[in-house]
Chains A and B, each alone.
Chain A
């Protein structure tokens, strides 16, 4: 039997498969699609197919909502550009924002949550100050543990939300935390970035794929990975067909920064889920992390709930292990555990239950 997660991946890859689904299949697919934030994408893939009326309505509503969300982000990018471009340093759109402004292949139906941007490390203070003066405010209490943690140990500042529109900007100076074992060359990425009409930049195709790969295969616990891998599949297919030498230049760019393993891992998983045509030079031998990640990515039930506790736990531990040295990890988990306990106590007191 095909589980609901696999149904989603197969339908994204070959939308005609939707024509054969039973009502029960649809119910599982809709829950998993919502949980993975891929239902709108599926809606764009399924356009024109004769689907059951209710299924079509659900996909259409997700698709239109994602498009309205893209409008919101487009406006936020416009405001952000007006604020930051006069400062004279390159501002690089990452992920969804880049797909949106450059019209790249993962865009149709792509839900875009926050606006991620990359700026040169030595200008990030200036960028933050300028955004704050223009109406974006930090959502983390200044001087609190989270705020200090971001500033000291992360590759991005605490999220900045616009005070009236609520849209969030994540201001990055690198694509991975400096505490981790891998060190992407952010300055090089900015040098290689491609200028869009209007003055904002996006990463070069190679770096864009590397960034997406790091995000899914290295930084974190594969949560939400199905969507990141869909981005990777779409980007890889589009870049490869535009440039026959893309796979080679991707390999060279990744190797120069010591990032081959996450790139290979991400492509391996994209291939497992979506059949990405990965050339031999970028393939890899399966290791335990691949197996656990695949298990986790395929492991939602028909209510969209993650049903793989063991894989989740090991991958969560791995994510933190890669992110910080052991002593720091212990201190971090201790502080977070105490904060959670305090919150739970306060909540109990508030509700009296």
Chain B
């Protein structure tokens, strides 16, 4: 049984599996993250075990679990084990992490102010987040989960796990980021092709440095679309962020109060665009105004 410990932002995970090669891939992907966590108390245990004893060797198939698990999890082929661990880690955060409001959103900071990008899968959120991550002026904070502190005017805390690029966004970023920051190309996953991109070193070094939210955007990518901007009302922004959160309702009054104070103080826009250039331009304009 091989064990690997990871720290992403405020959370430490211990990953455990008899599939050594899968964990070796994980170690390689996270080699630039904090090391030497052996003496630490960890937050979540994550396991990748064979579906049955013989499936360790014969058509290897991995069932993922952890301290917190769901009943109907589907096993993953061994060649996609890296992706399986990423999903299992996310699941621990979604189900078990209650020290912040966890929102399904990407985020980035400029100085100590942050932009929060929320939207359903396929809306262009991940691509936009990846584009910002390798722009010199932005500090990447996370591509998938944003952590908001439980206080009035909540702070955004970084959770900069490797960015999960899908399909068309892979070549887009391959031309913008150095080759040695990419993980292996994973083909034929549930979401098509996936390739992980380790964020710039600055994002990892500053993963304990929070930022104050200044702008919320909800992107809609549609090929050929003319750029358009619509201001969201406070209540629309609340509903979007609250439904994108895995735990806000569970946090009760503290979660509600923090979220309300965020939407009351930070402007929010729904933006549509048809190209990466338009997207970056819109974000810059809105950032200036905010």
Interface residues of B in 86-137 (CB under 8 A from A): 97-99
B97 neighbours in A (Cβ, 8 Å)? 61
Instruction: Flag if B42 contacts A353 (CB, 8 Å).
Output: no
Instruction: Flag if A353 contacts B41 (CB, 8 Å).
Output: no
A304 at the interface (CB under 8 A from B): yes
Interface residues of B in 32-67 (CB under 8 A from A): 39-43, 45, 47, 61, 67
Given contact pairs A23-B40, A71-B252, A61 touches B74 in the complex (Cβ within 8 A): no
Instruction: Flag if A54 contacts B47 (CB, 8 Å).
Output: no
Q: Mark A30-42, 1 if CB is under 8 A from B, else 0.
A: 1100100000000
Given contact pairs A54-B12, A351-B74, A30 touches B250 in the complex (Cβ within 8 A): no
Instruction: Flag if A31 contacts B67 (CB, 8 Å).
Output: yes
A271 at the interface (CB under 8 A from B): no
B75 at the interface (CB under 8 A from A): yes
Instruction: Flag if A68 contacts B41 (CB, 8 Å).
Output: no
Instruction: Flag if A351 contacts B75 (CB, 8 Å).
Output: yes
CA distance in complex: A52, B61 (Å) = 38
A304 neighbours in B (Cβ, 8 Å)? 45, 67
Instruction: Flag if A65 contacts B12 (CB, 8 Å).
Output: no
CA distance in complex: A65, B98 (Å) = 8
Q: Mark A42-82, 1 if CB is under 8 A from B, else 0.
A: 00000000001011011001001100100100000000000
Instruction: Flag if A54 contacts B40 (CB, 8 Å).
Output: yes
B77 neighbours in A (Cβ, 8 Å)? 353
Instruction: Flag if B250 contacts A65 (CB, 8 Å).
Output: yes
CA distance in complex: A68, B99 (Å) = 14
Instruction: Flag if B41 contacts A54 (CB, 8 Å).
Output: yes
Q: In the assembled complex, how far is the CB of residue A123 from the closest CB belonging to chain B, in whole angstroms?
A: 34
Q: Which residue of B lies closest to A351 (CB)?
A: B74
Instruction: Flag if A30 contacts B41 (CB, 8 Å).
Output: yes
B251 at the interface (CB under 8 A from A): yes
Instruction: Flag if B98 contacts A64 (CB, 8 Å).
Output: yes
Instruction: Flag if B99 contacts A61 (CB, 8 Å).
Output: yes
CA distance in complex: A23, B47 (Å) = 20
A239 neighbours in B (Cβ, 8 Å)? none
B16 at the interface (CB under 8 A from A): yes
Instruction: Flag if A52 contacts B41 (CB, 8 Å).
Output: yes
Residue from A64, A68, A303 in contact with B45 in the complex, judged by beta carbons closer than 8 Å: A303
Binding site for A on B (CB under 8 A): 12, 14, 16, 39-43, 45, 47, 61, 67-68, 74-75, 77, 97-99, 250-252
Contacts A30-B67, A54-B40, A61-B98 known; list 14 others, CB within 8 Å: A23-B41, A27-B42, A30-B41, A54-B12, A54-B41, A54-B43, A57-B99, A58-B43, A61-B97, A61-B99, A303-B16, A351-B75, A353-B75, A353-B77
